[in-house]
Chains A and B, each alone.
Chain A
Amino acid sequence: MNALDELEEAYDRYKNDTEFNAELNNLLNEYAGRPSRLYYAKRMTEDLGGAKIYLKREDLNHTGAHKINNVLGQALLAQRMGKTRLIAETGAGQHGVATATVAALLGMECDVYMGREDTERQALNVYKMRLLGARVHPVTSGTATLKDAVNETMREWATRLSDTHYCLGSCMGPHPFPTIVRDFQSVISREIKEQMLAREGRLPDVVVACVGGGSNAIGAFYNFINDPSVRLIGCEAAGRGIDTFETAATISVGKLGIFHGMKSFFCQDKYGQIAPVYSISAGLDYPGIGPEHAWLYETGRAEYVPVTDNEAVEAFEYLSRIEGIIPAIESAHAVAHAIKIAPAMEKDKIMVINISGRGDKDCVSIARYRGEEISE
């Protein structure tokens, strides 16, 4: 817990520091490639025949996902705290790759913990992390997926606080992590707002994003929370359906609990044992949701909907064909819900879908889902 106090103190000290923010913004722009594009999806809009659809292209960031926004912020903070080593959990491997990348950039040591099952589903990302100089530790305890990777990273941090920062990848865990991750990801909604005002002269009507722990969604929602005209929709991974045990849709099937240092909603049994969860998407395969999403849900400010594996795979293929953009299977959950609701919306309504990452990493497993075996 000592480390959390230290982190909070450092974050409070640097979050408004001019030099810190100048360095962060420089890296976000020059290294990660921000601002990311807000792209008008003309063919998709015409095909669905309803709302005007824009895609926020976080997939175009360096390393191929929104994760780098948060990692650059936390790594610079860790350096200022005198830390020389980053450790991280990863599900799909996108956060692990982002952490390994920034560790390489800043000359820091890096260890990534990843569920053994995920190291198999996302072998390419495991290789990338090693190529970038990180050590990847397959986690075999429990269900050998993202929650167990978080457990193992927490344990590792507890034994080595002196030189190590835990670069947590989602808006979850104990305070101050949910706040820090939200702030570093809020660049997404800040840019959407500026870009939309410049393009359309007004705010969007709907913002849609996928939610596992919820970092890309909180980033896409944050600067719209006080704009009640903007509907905020989080899309959870329903796996094989919310009426089955093979799901990760926390808001649909979970209940309030205390786990991983936070009070929020979790998939759990009646005795509070954390449930094994399932989704085709390794990045959404987490049994909880960040506490700020729980609050947005309870206050009714945001809606959360379940999207099945099958709907997400269809959306993955749809966006590839109609716009020439292969989204991450995580982001495809948001695309799937947009496909459901856009046709019924008026043509003068505007929808933004956050494309949180790119889908190269998913091609092998989606091909397999469709019964095709491919190898590189």
Chain B
Amino acid sequence: MSAISNVFTGKKAFIPFITCGYPNIEITEKVILAFDNAGADIIELGIPFSDTTAEDVLIQEVNNSALSSGVTTDDVLHLIKKISRSIAAPIVLSTYANVVFSYGIDRFVSKAAEYGAKGLVLSDVPYEESEEFRKPCDRYGIDLISKAVPFLERPFSEIAAASEGFTYCSPAGEDAEAAGKATSISEMIRLIKEKNKNICCAVDLNVRNIDEARSAASISDGVIVSCAFEQVLRLYGASSVEKIAALAENMRKVI
């Protein structure tokens, strides 16, 4: 059991996400503390990347805006060093391959581990291509978290079986489901658990409010809330922290 898989014991996990440096790194620090006070089980922190091709265009705007604020990979690592010991929730870093590769995979992973991060998600690295990143992660005790999408021809149960920490489940999209090329996310979770009931599946369903958080929790072991908090930041800027704290507390209650 790792620090990350442990959080799923006896409860459903609440996993809020925020892009570091949006709108600036000082706000990010306050938001992380608010998440932790609200009872987050894992906190997922995005290191911004210039071209977030695996996500929608709003995420790209957030990332470009964070980069414009001047935030760098080193700033994010230093922030983790500063706060990881004072919060209860383990930190998972989330970014794109080139951010880690250009830093030096070994150098990045060893620093992240030393400063207190427990997991890593790489949005543009499919499971089959992950070995280059997986080996250093294993060496330094970082869970490389696999993303699974319910395409029927894809061996998602194998991905889940090999996953560390938890399996990060995202939907395939209505088009693929309608065309019979993909199944629903709840069916994918059922199939994964049929193979191995010990695997924890957290879902990223673009949850934006309390009702959606409740319904996402009902089909999974944990809920990743990826865009709701950035929506608040986009609307309220620097005065967002209290609103984010309140939303996080309410979400925690229903998950």
Interface set of A (CB-CB < 8 Å, partner B): 1-2, 5-6, 141-142, 147-148, 150-152, 154-155, 158-163, 255-261, 266, 268, 270-274
Residues in A whose Cβ lies below 8 Å from that of B98:
257-259, 266, 268, 272, 274
Residues in A whose Cβ lies below 8 Å from that of B78:
none
Residues in A whose Cβ lies below 8 Å from that of B236:
none
14 example contacts (A-B, Cβ-Cβ < 8 A) are as follows A1-B126, A1-B154, A2-B181, A6-B153, A141-B61, A141-B64, A152-B57, A155-B56, A257-B98, A258-B125, A268-B98, A271-B72, A272-B73, A274-B50
Q: How many residues of B contact A (CB 8 A)?
A: 35
* Most interface-central of B61, B97, B103, B154 (chain A CB within 10 A): B97
Tell me, in angstroms, the Cα distance from A260 to B97 when the chains sit together. Answer: 10
Selected from B49, B56, B72, B176, the residue in CB contact (under 8 A) with A161 is B176
* Most interface-central of B67, B103, B175 (chain A CB within 10 A): B175
Tell me, in angstroms, the Cα distance from A6 to B176 when the chains sit together. Answer: 13
Within 8 A of A (CB), among B71-86: 72-74
Q: Is B237 an interface residue (CB 8 A)?
A: no
Q: Is B178 an interface residue (CB 8 A)?
A: yes
Are A141 and B60 within 8 A (Cβ)?
yes
Selected from A162, A257, A261, the residue in CB contact (under 8 A) with B178 is A162
* Most interface-central of B50, B57, B60, B176 (chain A CB within 10 A): B50
Are A154 and B101 within 8 A (Cβ)?
no
Q: Is B151 an interface residue (CB 8 A)?
A: yes
Residues in B whose Cβ lies below 8 Å from that of A271:
72-74, 99, 102-103
Tell me, in angstroms, the Cα distance from A162 to B9 when the chains sit together. Answer: 39
Q: Is B179 an interface residue (CB 8 A)?
A: yes
Q: Would you give the shortest CB distance from A294 to chain B, in whole angstroms?
A: 14
Q: Would you give the shortest CB distance from A72 to chain B, in whole angstroms?
A: 26
Q: Would you give the shortest CB distance from A71 to chain B, in whole angstroms?
A: 22
Residues in A whose Cβ lies below 8 Å from that of B57:
141, 152, 155
Are B173 and A159 within 8 A (Cβ)?
yes
Are B124 and A261 within 8 A (Cβ)?
yes
Known: A257-B102, A272-B101. A151 touches B60 (CB 8 A): yes
Are B53 and A151 within 8 A (Cβ)?
yes
Write the chain A residue with the least CB distance to B179: A162
Are A161 and B51 within 8 A (Cβ)?
no
Tell me, in angstroms, the Cα distance from A274 to B99 when the chains sit together. Answer: 10
Tell me, in angstroms, the Cα distance from A151 to B100 when the chains sit together. Answer: 20
Are B50 and A273 within 8 A (Cβ)?
yes
Tell me, in angstroms, the Cα distance from A150 to B53 when the chains sit together. Answer: 9
Are B61 and A273 within 8 A (Cβ)?
no
Residues in A whose Cβ lies below 8 Å from that of B97:
258-259
Known: A2-B153, A162-B178. A260 touches B53 (CB 8 A): yes
Write the chain B residue with the least CB distance to A256: B101
Selected from A147, A162, A255, A256, the residue in CB contact (under 8 A) with B51 is A147
Within 8 A of A (CB), among B96-121: 97-103
Q: Would you give the shortest CB distance from B188 to chain A, in whole angstroms?
A: 13
Residues in B whose Cβ lies below 8 Å from that of A5:
153
Are A162 and B176 within 8 A (Cβ)?
yes
Q: Give per-residue flags for B178-210: 1 if the beta carbon is below 8 A from chain A beta carbons, else 0.
A: 110110000000000000000000000000000
Tell me, in angstroms, the Cα distance from A6 to B153 when the chains sit together. Answer: 10
